[in-house]
């Protein structure tokens, strides 16, 4: 019996791939190809929108002057560290930093120099910190460091390094003047008596304001 035509109707065409990555047969209607292209275009548009949203979110967590994390990011990070402390007993330290004489800098040399002073301090903090540490600007002349797996002795050693940099690398001004920046530092480390993250911040703040009483601003 001759079954040539019937057999030809059952032949499956070899598969091929469209330029959008969609599998089709060679007999695929044009409407399928149009649908595949529309889906591909929609996917690309959604991907761009997601990337834009992520970039916007990053801006919401970043200090625009220094490029450091801001208070919102600090609040999130300290909650994460506190959770690790409660779950695993992984102690951490908080260092609060306040640039001394910031208002005097602005009043004497202008806001541009004030901004330079903030950025200079920010760069010194980042330079002294480890990769696992978190550096942020809380606002104004206030900064903070989160130091995972760090004792108070380890945190004090980092503070000493930053202080040495401030003393030996002044901010250069016009006409050969140099502005020797100073800052107040306060450190607090988690212990079994620490009630919550807010208390830890308060302890570091208190230590920082105590240290500021013996600091001053000078030019040479």
**Are both 75 and 175 inside the same structural domain?**
yes
Mean of the per-residue pLDDT values for the chain? Answer: 82
Q: Is residue 144 included in any domain, yes or no? A: yes
Of 39, 60, 81, the position where a domain reaches its end is 60
pLDDT tens readout for residues 198-217? 999 999 999 998 887 765 54
Report how far residue 80's alpha carbon sits from residue 48's, in angstroms, rounded to the nearest whole number.
30
Length of the chain: 220
129 CB neighbour count, 10 Å cutoff: 18
The yes-or-no verdict on residue 179 having pLDDT over 60 is: yes
pTM of structure: 0.73
Low-confidence winner among 55-59, 61-65, 110-114, 189-193 (lowest mean pLDDT)? 55-59
**Are both 32 and 117 inside the same structural domain?**
no
**Are both 98 and 160 inside the same structural domain?**
yes
**Are both 38 and 76 inside the same structural domain?**
no
**C-beta of residue 188 within 8 angstroms of C-beta of residue 201:** yes
Low-confidence winner among 101-115, 166-180, 195-209 (lowest mean pLDDT)? 166-180
Q: Which residues form the catalytic set?
A: 141
CATH number reported for the structural domain that contains residue 118 in this entry: 3.30.70.270
| Tokens 């599998």, located at residue | 23
Q: What mean pLDDT is predicted for residues 134-155?
A: 95
pLDDT value of position 26: 53
Q: How confident is the model at residue 37 (pLDDT cuts 50, 70, 90)?
A: confident
Of 60, 87, 115, the position where a domain reaches its end is 60
Structural domain boundaries, residue 203? 71-219
Q: What mean pLDDT is predicted for residues 64-81?
A: 94
**Are both 132 and 203 inside the same structural domain?**
yes
pLDDT value of position 99: 94
Report how far residue 62's alpha carbon sits from residue 85's, in angstroms, rounded to the nearest whole number.
25
Of 27, 60, 93, the position where a domain reaches its end is 60
Q: What mean pLDDT is predicted for residues 111-129?
A: 95
Report how far residue 130's alpha carbon sits from residue 122's, in angstroms, rounded to the nearest whole number.
14
- Percentage of the residues of the chain whose pLDDT score is greater than 70: 76
| Tokens 């301090």, located at residue | 121
Q: What mean pLDDT is predicted for residues 47-57?
A: 60
pLDDT tens readout for residues 24-35? 555 556 677 777
**Are both 150 and 109 inside the same structural domain?**
yes
Q: Is residue 207 included in any domain, yes or no? A: yes
**Are both 80 and 56 inside the same structural domain?**
no
């Amino acid at each position: 019996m001759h079954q040539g035509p019937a057999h030809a109707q059952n032949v499956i065409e070899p598969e091929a791939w469209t330029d959008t990555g969609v599998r089709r047969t060679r007999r695929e209607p044009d409407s399928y190809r149009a649908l595949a292209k529309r889906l591909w275009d929609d996917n690309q548009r959604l991907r761009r929108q997601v990337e834009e949203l992520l970039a916007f979110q990053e801006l919401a967590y970043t200090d625009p002057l220094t490029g450091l994390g801001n208070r919102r990011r600090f609040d999130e990070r300290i909650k994460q560290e506190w959770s690790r402390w409660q779950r695993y007993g992984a102690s951490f330290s908080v260092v609060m930093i306040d640039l001394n004489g910031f208002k005097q800098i602005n009043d004497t040399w202008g806001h541009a120099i004030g901004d330079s002073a903030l950025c200079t301090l920010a760069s010194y903090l980042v330079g002294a910190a480890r990769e696992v540490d978190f550096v942020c600007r809380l606002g104004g002349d206030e900064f903070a460091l989160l130091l995972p797996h760090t004792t108070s002795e380890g945190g004090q050693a980092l503070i000493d390094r930053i202080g040495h940099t401030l003393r030996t690398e002044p901010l250069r001004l016009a006409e050969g003047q140099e502005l020797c920046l100073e800052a107040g530092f306060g450190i607090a480390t988690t212990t079994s008596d620490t009630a919550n993250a807010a208390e830890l911040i308060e302890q570091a703040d208190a230590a920082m304001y105590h240290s500021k009483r013996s600091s001053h601003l000078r030019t040479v």
